[in-house]
Structure 1
């Protein structure tokens, strides 16, 4: 239970869902964890849960699209814990009700998606880097999405900004690898979080199970465990990589379902 012993981790978007799961799992592995979110109640609940489990945590309220707010967040974490070893840029998202196909895309939503996903990743990393370098190196973990790997009938903005996060991850890895800063990304598939359940109709959620290779959707902890691995020294020789954690959603041939009928009866 000490894969992250002695490390200090800062996780944005930790007020619920995947970010909360990652924070709890990192704490369980020995990390001191600063958790940040715009939802003060949510992030304080995350921090309190960590404290109740015997860990050490700091709750921070942040607007990840505002550089001053991001700088204050990073500085507060370093003041509290004395150093920074891990940054998880987890804030992101889009509004699927207005992030539609190109002709019907609300461009205001596109701008918001750029700020929430791209700008936040750049700002968080830029302000964390001096502290990571000062400590002799560290790990940046960005949250991308399978939406950045494939085309879709809607959410054109979300796909574009998550593809950008993947490229940003590679660039940071190249630029700061000589200072022993690693940067990797996780691309979740469909994960049962409040955001997914709140944004997608029940029928769509059920349909997602049918396109997975595995017959179920992911839990936040499934992504959190991957983040723990990327934060730990177990992944010390990995940088600029994208780990797809999607239950096999993106590996299936489009013809697979139709070809199922060609299989001989089992037994």
Structure 2
């Protein structure tokens, strides 16, 4: 029997730390909670200090035990990101996971009217912020010599052309590709880099999903008939950030209720979606063999 190499030291290290950017609200907050429940220590980095204080107040026992700390950080600032990563590493002496989750909606409106300043601000947070998070996580993990995991939060908007504003979509697409590129470079150091692509998740950044599901456009587009919650993303992030995914790197995981799989839903209009067809049979195309209709579809 061949022994399994986890690529991390999770099972042999008594205390590990995760750094979660954007950790004071939404997906980040749920991720912090899940890592804590799994026994990890966590530094939540966020620009919003009041949300950070509320997070600490929510977990007084973990704060008292030195398992939870807050770092005010603007992820577009290299100094802030470097400081937050160093704080996380010092919490237990072992930085095992960095989750680059901090996000904004960014520039919106017609491309002909979008300012360079708004475009650059969007990329500074969503793209440069991930680059900085990976850079400083990798420096620490390489120095530790024990490997680690980096999870970047992209978006369904990175995978299709009509799931978000232009700047947001382009910046998130760069996150997917950076995850592949950095995974290739850092793999020999046993540092895994993956990303998750959330769909319509009910968070403060996505109020349209928070308003409910029944009768919405989302209900017609998304195969699973319920709204995505931050906890759904937290579970996926934890999987990719822990030794549970020790042989997975350079991948993206769409956590989207099936939106990517459903695609543009052209089947509704072309008549190929079985849910909208009235007949059952087989179309034999131009084979010269006659197509067959077996009967009407049952409900």
TM-score by length of 1: 0.90
Distance 2:240 2:30 in 1: 15
Cα-to-partner distance string for 1:152-176 (whole Å, 9 max, x where unaligned): 2861111111110011101110111
Distance 2:29 2:239 in 1: 16
Distance 1:44 1:184 in 2: 29
Task: Indicate the structure with greater helix content.
Answer: 1
Cα-to-partner distance string for 1:106-144 (whole Å, 9 max, x where unaligned): 332211111011110111111121221233100000000
Distance 2:171 2:210 in 1: 20
1:187 is aligned to 2:197? yes
Distance 1:156 1:144 in 2: 14
1:94 is aligned to 2:126? no
Offset at residue 194 of structure 1 (A): 1.0
**Secondary structure, aligned partner of 1:195:** coil
1:123 is aligned to 2:136? no
Cα 1:72–1:238 shift into 2, 3 Å: same
Cα-to-partner distance string for 1:67-89 (whole Å, 9 max, x where unaligned): 11111111122222222110000
- Structure 2, gaps ≥5 residues long: 1-9, 279-295
Q: What residue number does 1:261 align with?
A: 276
1:109 is aligned to 2:118? yes
Is contact 1:27-1:50 (8 Å) kept? no
Offset at residue 36 of structure 1 (A): 0.8
TM-score by length of 2: 0.81
Q: Which moved more, 1:15-24 or 1:255-264?
A: 255-264
Offset at residue 200 of structure 1 (A): 9.2
- Structure 1, gaps ≥5 residues long: none
Q: What residue number does 1:67 align with?
A: 78
Is contact 2:212-2:227 (8 Å) kept? no
Is contact 1:143-1:187 (8 Å) kept? yes
Count of residues in Structure 1 that have an aligned counterpart in Structure 2 = 264
Is contact 2:15-2:94 (8 Å) kept? no
Cα-to-partner distance string for 1:208-260 (whole Å, 9 max, x where unaligned): 23210111220000000000101111100000000000001111152233434
Cα 1:232–1:153 shift into 2, 3 Å: closer
Is contact 2:43-2:88 (8 Å) kept? yes
Offset at residue 202 of structure 1 (A): 8.1
Q: CA RMSD, aligned part only?
A: 2.6
Q: Which moved more, 1:65-74 or 1:194-203?
A: 194-203
**Secondary structure, aligned partner of 2:150:** strand
Distance 1:235 1:35 in 2: 22
Is contact 1:47-1:57 (8 Å) kept? yes
Distance 1:256 1:189 in 2: 21
Which of 242, 251, 262 pairs up with 1:252? 262
Distance 2:52 2:173 in 1: 28
Q: Which moved more, 1:4-13 or 1:155-164?
A: 4-13
